[in-house]
C-alpha cells in the first residue's frame, strides 16, 4: 500500500470524526483554537491507535487466511463503507453540545474510530507498514476533524451527511482496488 492509498484511507476513515466535529462546531457560539486542537487530538489519536490494535489482531492469524486476504480486505472495507453511507443517509440525528470534557471527547473518539480497528486487521493482510499508516491516518484525522469544527460553524450541517457518504465511497473504492490488484496477480 503506497502513501497515496494511505492518505485516501486516512481521508475515508476521518469522515466520521469530521462529520461529528462539524456537528459539534454547529453548537459552539465561539470556536477557540483550543477547541480545534482538542477535537483533532482526540479523534486523531484514536484513529491512529485503533489500526495498530487491529493490525496486531490481524497478524496473529494472518497465516491462516493469506490465500483469501484480498477478499477479507474487500469485504471489510465494503461493509464499513456501506455502513458509513447508511449512517450518513438514514442515521439518527446526533446530539451535539459544547462539552469538551475528556469523558465526552473519549466517547466520541472511540465511537468514530471503531472502523479503524477493523481496517487495521485488513492492513495486516496486505502487509502494510502499520506505523506509517497509523501516523498518516492520525494526521489526516487531526487536520480534517479540527477543520471540521470550523466548517460546522461556517457552512452548516448539510456537509455532515455528505462527508459520511464520501468517506464510505472512498473506503469501498480502496477495497475494490485491493481486490482487483490481487486478482490480477
User: Taking the CB of residue 132, how many other CB atoms lie within 10 A of it?
Assistant: 12
The low-confidence residues of the chain, meaning pLDDT below 50, are 94-96, 157
Structural domain boundaries in the chain: 3-184
pLDDT digits (tens, 9 = 90+) for 94-120: 444 567 888 888 888 888 887 888 889
- Match 477479507 to its residue by C-alpha cell: 72
- Burial-class residue 70 by CB neighbours within 10 Å (0-12, 13-18, 19+): buried
- Match 459552539 to its residue by C-alpha cell: 28
- Is residue 7 a contact partner of residue 162, using CB atoms and an 8 Å limit? no
How confident is the model at residue 95, as a pLDDT? Answer: 44
- Is residue 117 a contact partner of residue 53, using CB atoms and an 8 Å limit? yes
Does this model's pTM top 0.85? My answer is no
- What is the rounded CA–CA span in Å between residue 177 and residue 46? 26
From the list 61, 62, 55, 162, the residue with the least C-alpha distance to 116 is 55
Please give the full DSSP string across the chain, using - where no structure is assigned: --HHHHHHHHHHHHHHHHHHHHHHHHH-SS--HHHHHHHHHHHHHHHHHHHHHHHHHHHHTHHHHGGGHHHHHHHHHHHHHHHHHHHHHHPPPP---S---HHHHHHHHHHHHHHHHHHHHHHHHTT--HHHHHHHHHHHHHHHHHHHHHHHHHH-THHHHHHHHHHHHHHHHHHHHHHHHHHH-
Query: 169 Cβ partners below 8 Å, 6+ apart?
Result: 81, 85
Amino acid at each position: 500500500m503506497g502513501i497515496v492509498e494511505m492518505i485516501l484511507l486516512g481521508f475515508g476513515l476521518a469522515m466520521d470524526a469530521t462529520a461529528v466535529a462539524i456537528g459539534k462546531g454547529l453548537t459552539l457560539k465561539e470556536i477557540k483554537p483550543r477547541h480545534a486542537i482538542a477535537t483533532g487530538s482526540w479523534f486523531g489519536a484514536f484513529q491512529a491507535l485503533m489500526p495498530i490494535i487491529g493490525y496486531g489482531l490481524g497478524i496473529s492469524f494472518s497465516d491462516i487466511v493469506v490465500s483469501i486476504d484480498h477478499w477479507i480486505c474487500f469485504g471489510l472495507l465494503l461493509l464499513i463503507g456501506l455502513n458509513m453511507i447508511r449512517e450518513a443517509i438514514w442515521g439518527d440525528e446526533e446530539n451535539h453540545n459544547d462539552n469538551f470534557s475528556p469523558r465526552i471527547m473519549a466517547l466520541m473518539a472511540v465511537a468514530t474510530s471503531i472502523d479503524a480497528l477493523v481496517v487495521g486487521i485488513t492492513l495486516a493482510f496486505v502487509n502494510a507498514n502499520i506505523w506509517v499508516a497509523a501516523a498518516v491516518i492520525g494526521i489526516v484525522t487531526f487536520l480534517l476533524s479540527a477543520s471540521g469544527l470550523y466548517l460546522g460553524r461556517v457552512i452548516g450541517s448539510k456537509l455532515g451527511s455528505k462527508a459520511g457518504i464520501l468517506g464510505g465511497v472512498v473506503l469501498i473504492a480502496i477495497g475494490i482496488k485491493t481486490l482487483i490488484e490481487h486478482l490480477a496477480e
